[in-house]
Structure 1
Amino acid sequence: MGQPGSGTADAVGEGELASYRLRRERELSSLYTTARSLTALGEVGEVLRSIVRHAHELIGCDFAYLSLLDEDGYLTLRASAGTISPEFSSARMPPGAGLGGRVIESRAPFWVSNYHEAQVLRHDSRFDLLVPSEGLMALLGVPLLVGEEAVGVLFAADRTERPFETDEVALFSAFAGHAAVALNNARLYEESRVSLRRLTDAYRTIEDQVATMERAAAVHEALTHVVLTGGGPGDIAQLLVEHLRGTVTVQDRDDKVIAVRGGRDEHADQDLARDLREEARRTGRCASSRDEGGAALSVVAVGAGGSPFGFLSLSGHAAPEPADVRMLERSAQIMGLLILMRDARVEAEKRVRGELLMELLSRRPLHPAQRERAVALGVDVDHLDVLVVADCPERPTSDIVRQLRPLSSEWSGLAGEYLGQATMLLRADDVDDVASALHHTLRRTLGAPTLVVADRIAGQERSRSFTLTQRCIKVMRSLGDNDRGASTHQYGMYSLVFDPERAHDLDRFLTDCLGTLLEYDQRRSTDLVATTAAYFAHSGHLSRTARSLHVHMNTLLKRLDRIGVLLGDDWRSPDSALRLHLAVRLHELRAAVDGPAPDATG
């Protein structure tokens, strides 16, 4: 065990010297013959096999093998000659370990006469387990150098313990030098051949690519034209039919067909179409398949900004080419953008109309920019003389507004949500007709009882009209009207309640009629006002009145006597009863609209 050394024994006689020279000549001749044979090879695998085979024959060892450095620095066995076990054939040596690691680090040959007992090496336990199975004993390794870089190690191994002579090491090293050159040339040759093959393949397909690009450019130009001219899904479907054979179908997000071009929309296998739509929606890519009859169907989801808008499908006898699939996917993207642009325009118009409505209902003067926007929308803000409020407890306000917006366009008006109420401003001659017509439409579209109240705007008092209509709705519900269209003047007799400007008149009327009872209820915590309201509500029928108040008849009679003491014995006379009945009813309605008055706690 040690560095190459010991040297060839000095020739004693001329015969031994001649024999030595003859052996060296044969070795050198074999070396150069082998080197020439290696240069004629091209495949890397073939070069590797040839190297170990010639190395095995050249040095006359039991077996030879070659390991190359991986990207991670491991030496991996790549070729062998001689009997080598399958386990040994997959040997990998970590960086710096074993005889190979020593050779890589020093870039110089190294040998050991007994590998297992060599203490100068850093052993690898996994490799050491393979040594007995192969019977490896003496081992010589020489570096494969490409310039100054070691790319691998060539090994010569014997199954008996023995030294390696200096001449053997020199010969093996020289052979390794030629082998490294041949191996590097083979690698370069293979890389060049791969590159050439790729260039050839690219050149062969360039005409197809040019044709595809030209067609794609034509489609792109046509799609751009559709976008610029404000086209829709039907235009894109027609464009695809002109470039693809088959039938193009456009469906909305509810799978309803909105456009068909190139033939009739005949999907015999609806289950297949449904499955492809689901796959296209899930993957975001084109989904294709054939039905039992052999017809091809391709489906791509239409969407933009994460919002699904529907599906674009192509059906025909031939399956689409990859370029056709890309064309279908791009068209779906353009269609999604068109729909998104359309929705954005609609949403922008809704926002502008909503802002205009807010400005008009506020007491601030309308900004000139807002007035210009109104003109652009075809709305004459100076002639919007009717205000409408719609209320449907079974539907969200947003649903009511959604139904009012298209109706507002028909009336050249504005619709939106104001202070939580679905509100509309419009121009009309007959307020009653407006309320009735809008109620009829909303009742049908919303499918639930709806109240619609309209008010004629006096001058520019739009906010006052909003207050009147909103409070009138509360009065109507208190009166039991839950599904009707009416104007505020139809409920004029209750204007004392819902008109804030007449609140003082209502207070004076209630004080004159009910002031004594209200004061008595507050001071004594009694229910005389409620008893009076129940009495009139049941047309003076005592037993029904007592049952509605959940009191005994004697209690009711005592309360009625007390009312007579406070109001006078004639309180049930026709004129007094009418006045008192109206007062308690208005008192109840005001509580429904405004909440209980501070002095009406009884």
Structure 2
Amino acid sequence: MLNLTSIEKFLEIKFKNVPYQVWLGKHSMMELCSFSGHEPAIYPPPMPLNDKDTNYTFLQQNKITYIGMTFEDSFQVIVCFFDRIIFNEFEFDHLYLLFSVLYYKEISKFKNNELEKVIEGIRILNTSLDLNELLKKIFQIALNVIPAGDAGVFRIFDAETNLLVPLTTVGLPDEYIHYKTRIGESTSGQVFIDGIPRIHHSKQEILMDRINISKENWSFAENIDIARAMITVPVSLGDTRIGTMTILQFSKKKKFTERDLDLLQSFSPQVAIAYNNAKLYKEAHTRLNKVTQLSNELEEKNKLLQQRINVHDTLTQLSLNNKGIKAIIYEINRMLGMPVGYVDFLDSEFYPRNQNQKKFSIDNISNLISIHKNTPAFIGMFNQDYYFYPIIVGTALLGCIIITLYHPLSSMDTITIEQSGSVLALELAKKISMTEIHYKKVQEYFNQLLENHDHKTMIAKGLKFNLEFSTYTFVVLCEIPDLFEAFEIEARIQRLLSKIKKEFPKNNKLIFGFHNKVTLMFSVPDTKHIKGIIHLIKMIIAEKDRYDKNDIRIGLGTPYKEIKNIVKSYNEANKSLSFLINRNKFGLMRYEEIGVNRFFLNQPIQEIEEFTEEIFSHLRSDKLQNKDLEKTLMIYISSNKSAIETAKTLHIHINTLYQRLRKIEELLNISFNNPEDMLKIQLTCHLRETFG
């Protein structure tokens, strides 16, 4: 509140009985500051500004005398006397001086307050490094110093998008942050490009300055309130312009002045410094974080590397000392502090024994691993979480580590498991190599049996392989198709050998594997044992193991009493395998089951195909595009020349069948009633059905 005591005393002395009112401010916003009497407040009419030669102006209206005094920035003092008053020049100059002292005293306080606010803006630059917080404080101080403003926005230039992007707003809706402008677009874009501050005193001026505005911003501007007035100044850091600063007016009625513009420009360097400090701090903080993160990562990697070395050394030492898989699994249990099991897919064994097989079967585990594409997986079963880690070499699944999880796996745990997998893979590879060495010796002995005529010596050597010759001896050959990579074939052969050993633990036998084949030689006292062996072999084929299901061919040679006939049984087993291969079939074939087809086993398949094609080609021509006649002939012969059964199978009328048969006789120049012709046709159909 202004102190008008000296002025009031002067007026009371000079005009004891005349009521008066003192109004201060600008015309649109005058305030009643002092009065005497009981007259109602009467807002003064517009008073002309003082000219250069006078300090005051007069106006008499409706028995009221108005005296107006104008100071800087269009600030006026209007004294209303409710009577016609005649002032002498000395008295009015005295009154003018009193109001001048009052005005400059108050304006000095206001400027000091402005200066304090500017200093406060500079001081807060050192109070925080939070850029958004700093900028909001600076704007709040600026709005206190520039009372005509309601809101503010600081736009920063983004070099990547070439746009002025709102970084901080005060008193504006949240969506205003999306109001981005191009260089040269609207007021902010123009101020940024030419560095000239701008004041707009009305909505019309603001709208007129919206040049080069984009469609997106035009649409945005239509959906927000337009400011009644605004000031925009450039923000520069040294010689580099970094953005713009704007104060907007929405509800206040005071006008922006040139002094407001100067004040806002005084805040512009503070904004630039705040932005630069925050930017430098962020960059330094980021670099520090990266250094710290890198240091932590290196420390963690060093720990993991040391763990990897320790685990590898411990488990490798167990392997080198031939402690076996059981000891390795026990050590992994100790390292992880959780129950660890292992299933060996080569021997279908569990470690520790009788632990995991209570919950899992070999088929169950292999199916779970297959579902997860042979990769490590967390699996929940039986109200318990497990971690499956398959041991794979190439595409061959050799085993799987199964961990019963009591807590989540740490990085150290993962390293331990990975190293355990590597050592177990080496252990299995060593196991396969040792087995191959043994089988190579067995194979050499078997080849000697086939070639050597010194049977007594061969019988004596057989004792080294726990083989004693009995009355009947025969050979069995098992073959897995050569369709996989080398290690996968080796793994499949190892599994097959393991199964056979388990099924025939006490039988008098010789067994070895080579490439994709397993060779067995059984020696039994009588034929009843032969039937039991064949039954068990069929059982192995029938097992629903996903690795070996439907991909084994087994050929059996005839059992013979004398050792010299082993080579004969071996050749028969080979022929039985050849028969299955030629027919592209799997399963078990005994030599005696081949029957008449044994006469064609040594005949090249190509010659058989050429022979059958010579016959069946006559049943085709340009007019006969389908194979109805071939099909009719094959069914007619297989049904033992039964016309009724053939017609029924082909779903045709009996008369149609007779027409086809006559056509076949005509094309092949044969007669179905001629025995020689029938023998030729029957042989052709049999070869076509059997070989291809």
Q: Structure 2-normalised TM-score?
A: 0.48
Task: Give the CA RMSD over aligned residues.
Answer: 6.4
Mapping 1:142-541, distance limit 5 Å: 142-147=233-238, 149-159=240-250, 168-193=260-285, 214-225=306-317, 233-251=325-343, 258-260=350-352, 281=372, 284-287=375-378, 297-304=385-392, 305=394, 307-315=396-404, 318-327=406-415, 329-331=417-419, 333-334=421-422, 337-338=425-426, 341=429, 384-385=450-451, 411=510, 441-447=533-539, 451-453=556-558, 466=571, 470=575
Q: Would you say the 8 A contact 2:166–2:180 is kept in 1?
A: yes
**Alpha-carbon deviations, 1:188-232, whole Å to 9, x = none?**
334545665776788799988766654443113224445666776
Q: Offset of 1:330 from its aligned partner? A: 1.0
Q: Would you say the 8 A contact 1:247–1:265 is kept in 2?
A: no
**Alpha-carbon deviations, 1:84-131, whole Å to 9, x = none?**
334435544467643333344445545555222325342554465446
**What is aligned with 1:554?**
none
Equivalent position to 2:143, from 56, 74, 79: 56
The structure-2 alpha-carbon separation of the partners of 1:191 and 1:483, relative to structure 1 and needing over 3 Å to count, comes to: closer
**Alpha-carbon deviations, 1:6-34, whole Å to 9, x = none?**
xxx9x969975996996777655643442
The structure-2 alpha-carbon separation of the partners of 1:414 and 1:138, relative to structure 1 and needing over 3 Å to count, comes to: closer
- Larger CA deviation: 33-42 vs 98-107: 98-107
* Partner SS for 2:245: strand
Distance across 2 between alignment mates of 1:283 and 1:45: 52
Q: Would you say the 8 A contact 1:116–1:128 is kept in 2?
A: no
Q: Offset of 1:45 from its aligned partner? A: 2.6
The structure-2 alpha-carbon separation of the partners of 1:80 and 1:127, relative to structure 1 and needing over 3 Å to count, comes to: farther
**Alpha-carbon deviations, 1:289-337, whole Å to 9, x = none?**
7976xxx643123143455455423336x41441344135414642674
Q: Offset of 1:269 from its aligned partner? A: 11
Q: Offset of 1:240 from its aligned partner? A: 1.3
The structure-2 alpha-carbon separation of the partners of 1:149 and 1:128, relative to structure 1 and needing over 3 Å to count, comes to: farther
The structure-2 alpha-carbon separation of the partners of 1:231 and 1:441, relative to structure 1 and needing over 3 Å to count, comes to: farther
Q: Would you say the 8 A contact 1:93–1:124 is kept in 2?
A: no
Letter in 2 for 1:452: G
| % identity of equivalent residues | 15
Query: Residue 79 in 1 paired to residue 168 in 2?
Result: yes
Query: Residue 140 in 1 paired to residue 206 in 2?
Result: no
Q: Name stretches of at least 5 consecutive residues in structure 1 with no aligned partner.
A: 1-8, 354-373, 475-481, 501-547, 551-587, 597-602
The structure-2 alpha-carbon separation of the partners of 1:323 and 1:425, relative to structure 1 and needing over 3 Å to count, comes to: closer
* Partner SS for 2:248: strand
The structure-2 alpha-carbon separation of the partners of 1:484 and 1:27, relative to structure 1 and needing over 3 Å to count, comes to: closer
The structure-2 alpha-carbon separation of the partners of 1:207 and 1:473, relative to structure 1 and needing over 3 Å to count, comes to: closer
Q: Name stretches of at least 5 consecutive residues in structure 2 with no aligned partner.
A: 1-48, 56-70, 74-99, 453-472, 483-491, 502-507, 542-553, 580-587, 603-639, 643-678, 688-692
Distance across 2 between alignment mates of 1:470 and 1:283: 38
Letter in 2 for 1:35: I
Q: Offset of 1:284 from its aligned partner? A: 3.5
- Larger CA deviation: 250-259 vs 65-74: 250-259
Q: Offset of 1:379 from its aligned partner? A: 5.5
Q: Would you say the 8 A contact 1:302–1:312 is kept in 2?
A: yes
Distance across 2 between alignment mates of 1:55 and 1:283: 67
**What is aligned with 1:88?**
176
Q: Offset of 1:281 from its aligned partner? A: 2.9
Larger-Rg structure? 2
The structure-2 alpha-carbon separation of the partners of 1:217 and 1:390, relative to structure 1 and needing over 3 Å to count, comes to: closer
Letter in 2 for 1:136: A
* Partner SS for 2:235: strand
Q: Would you say the 8 A contact 2:315–2:328 is kept in 1?
A: yes
The structure-2 alpha-carbon separation of the partners of 1:592 and 1:464, relative to structure 1 and needing over 3 Å to count, comes to: farther
Distance across 2 between alignment mates of 1:48 and 1:34: 10
Letter in 2 for 1:36: R
Q: Offset of 1:287 from its aligned partner? A: 1.9
**Alpha-carbon deviations, 1:208-262, whole Å to 9, x = none?**
876665444311322444566677643442221221213211135699761129x
Distance across 2 between alignment mates of 1:425 and 1:111: 104
Q: Would you say the 8 A contact 2:154–2:246 is kept in 1?
A: yes
* Partner SS for 1:115: helix
Select the structure with the greater relative contact order (CA < 8 A; seq sep ≥ 6). Answer: 1
Q: Would you say the 8 A contact 1:400–1:446 is kept in 2?
A: no
Distance across 2 between alignment mates of 1:288 and 1:413: 38
Query: Residue 43 in 1 paired to residue 135 in 2?
Result: no
Q: Would you say the 8 A contact 1:471–1:498 is kept in 2?
A: no
Q: Would you say the 8 A contact 2:375–2:389 is kept in 1?
A: yes
Q: Would you say the 8 A contact 2:511–2:518 is kept in 1?
A: no
**Alpha-carbon deviations, 1:389-408, whole Å to 9, x = none?**
7589xx9878999968989x
The structure-2 alpha-carbon separation of the partners of 1:404 and 1:232, relative to structure 1 and needing over 3 Å to count, comes to: closer
The structure-2 alpha-carbon separation of the partners of 1:212 and 1:379, relative to structure 1 and needing over 3 Å to count, comes to: same
The structure-2 alpha-carbon separation of the partners of 1:172 and 1:381, relative to structure 1 and needing over 3 Å to count, comes to: same
Q: Would you say the 8 A contact 2:376–2:390 is kept in 1?
A: no
**What is aligned with 2:190?**
102
The structure-2 alpha-carbon separation of the partners of 1:411 and 1:326, relative to structure 1 and needing over 3 Å to count, comes to: same
**Alpha-carbon deviations, 1:350-402, whole Å to 9, x = none?**
9xx9xxxxxxxxxxxxxxxxxxxx6797558566428987589xx98789999
Distance across 1 between alignment mates of 2:127 and 2:599: 111
- Larger CA deviation: 70-79 vs 382-391: 382-391
Equivalent position to 1:67, from 155, 174, 178: 155
Distance across 2 between alignment mates of 1:457 and 1:325: 58
Q: Structure 1-normalised TM-score?
A: 0.53
* Partner SS for 2:206: coil
**Alpha-carbon deviations, 1:501-554, whole Å to 9, x = none?**
xxxxxxxxxxxxxxxxxxxxxxxxxxxxxxxxxxxxxxxxxxxxxxx999xxxx
**What is aligned with 2:206?**
115
Q: Would you say the 8 A contact 1:277–1:299 is kept in 2?
A: no
The structure-2 alpha-carbon separation of the partners of 1:442 and 1:67, relative to structure 1 and needing over 3 Å to count, comes to: farther
The structure-2 alpha-carbon separation of the partners of 1:147 and 1:307, relative to structure 1 and needing over 3 Å to count, comes to: farther
Letter in 1 for 2:575: Q
Distance across 1 between alignment mates of 2:497 and 2:348: 25
Q: Would you say the 8 A contact 1:288–1:297 is kept in 2?
A: yes
* Partner SS for 1:64: strand
